[in-house]
Amino acid sequence: MSVNFSLEGKVALVTGASYGIGFAIASGMAKAGATIVFNDIKQELVDKGIVAYKEAGIDAHGYVCNVCDEAGVNAMVETIAKEVGPIDILVNNAGIIKRIPMCDMTAEEFRQVIDVDLNAPFIVSKAVIPSMIERGHGKIINICSMMSELGRETVSAYAAAKGGLKMLTRNICSEYGKYNIQCNGLGPGYIETPQTAPLRERQPDGSRHPFDSFIVAKTPAERWLKPEELAGPAVFLASEASNAVNGHILYVDGGILAYIGKQPE
C-alpha cells in the first residue's frame, strides 16, 4: 500500500513555498520522495527558503519568479525542466489576502488579489499541462480555502478569488482528466503560522484574543491546525493513491464546514 503514496522520482513545483503552508506541504512531499522546486517573488525570500529546506534536510531548488507574469512563468517552467526535470506535481500555493471592507476597497486592490490568487494558478497550470499531457500523467493541487465556500466580512476579493479557484479546479479536471491529469483543491482551515501568531496570543488578563475565541468556538477540534497537518492530505492528492480523485476540494479545517457552531450559554 505504501507504494501508492510514494512520490519517488517525481518533481514537485510548489509556488510561494519559501515558508508557511507551502513550505510545510513541500516538506511533506520531500519526505515522500519528491524532488522539490519552489519559487518566490524576491531573491531574498528564495535564499531564506533554501536555507530553511537545508536545515530540514531537503535539497530544494529555488527560483525567482512572479507567478502573475506569464512570460516569466513559462521561462521558469522551461528552466526547471532543463535543470531538474519535467514537473509531475504542481501546487498552486502562492497567494495574498487584503482584509478591507468591500466598500472601502479600490478596484485596483480587488484586481491585485484576483491576479495573485486566481489568474496566477491559471497561468502556472497552463504552463505545466502540455508536458503532463505529453508524458501521460500529472497532478495539480490548488490551495483553495474555506472562503471557497463561506463568506466573511473584509475578504470579498479573497473569497471571490478562492471561489473562482474552486471552479478552475473543476474545469481543469473536466478538460484534462482524459490525459490522466488529476486536479484537486486543498482547503486549509485556520493554521498556526507566524502571521496568525498575534491572533493567538493571550491577552493581559489571561483571556483569549477575540478572534482566537471565535475560531476555537467554530472548530469542532477546538484548536488551530498545524501547517504539517496539511502534508498528509497534500501527499495523498499528489500520489497515485488519488488517481480516481479528480475535481475534488479536500477541506482540512478541523471540521469547521460541518459545524454550525456552539449554542450561546
Q: 142-170 pLDDT, tens per residue?
A: 999 999 999 989 999 999 999 999 999 99
77-126 residue pLDDT tens: 999 999 999 999 999 999 999 999 999 999 999 999 999 999 999 999 99
Q: Position 186: which residue type?
A: L
Per-residue pLDDT of the chain in tens (265 residues, 90 and over written 9): 556 999 999 999 999 999 999 999 999 999 999 999 999 999 999 999 999 999 999 999 999 999 999 999 999 999 999 999 999 999 999 999 999 999 999 999 999 999 999 999 999 999 999 999 999 999 999 999 999 999 989 999 999 999 999 999 999 999 999 999 999 999 999 999 887 888 899 989 999 999 999 999 999 999 999 999 999 999 999 999 999 999 999 999 999 999 988 777 7
Residue 25: Cβ within 10 Å count: 30
Phi, psi (degrees; rounded to nearest 5) at 14 = -115, 110
Count CA atoms within 13 Å of residue 181 on its CB side.
Answer: 30
Instruction: Check if 158 is active-site.
Output: yes
Mean predicted lDDT score pLDDT of the chain: 95
Going 143 to 149 to 153 to 158, the CA torsion angle's sign is positive
Distances from the Cα of 5 to the Cα of 33, 188, 231, angstroms:
10, 21, 12
Q: How far apart are CA 246 and CA 249, in angstroms?
A: 9
Q: How far apart are CA 62 and CA 46, in angstroms?
A: 6
Q: How far apart are CA 178 and CA 62, in angstroms?
A: 32
Q: Smallest Cα–Cα separation from 55: which of 25, 27, 88? A: 27
Q: How far apart are CA 23 and CA 77, in angstroms?
A: 19
CB under 8 Å to 212, separation ≥6 — which residues? 199, 200, 224
| Size of the chain, expressed as the number of residues it contains | 265
Query: In this predicted structure, what is the pLDDT of residue 3?
Result: 66
Query: In this predicted structure, what is the pLDDT of residue 41?
Result: 97
Is residue 92 within 8 Å of 124, Cβ to Cβ?
A: yes
pTM for the model: 0.95
Distances from the Cα of 127 to the Cα of 37, 77, 232, angstroms:
15, 7, 26
Query: In this predicted structure, what is the pLDDT of residue 213?
Result: 92
* Catalytic member of 63, 158, 176, 251: 158
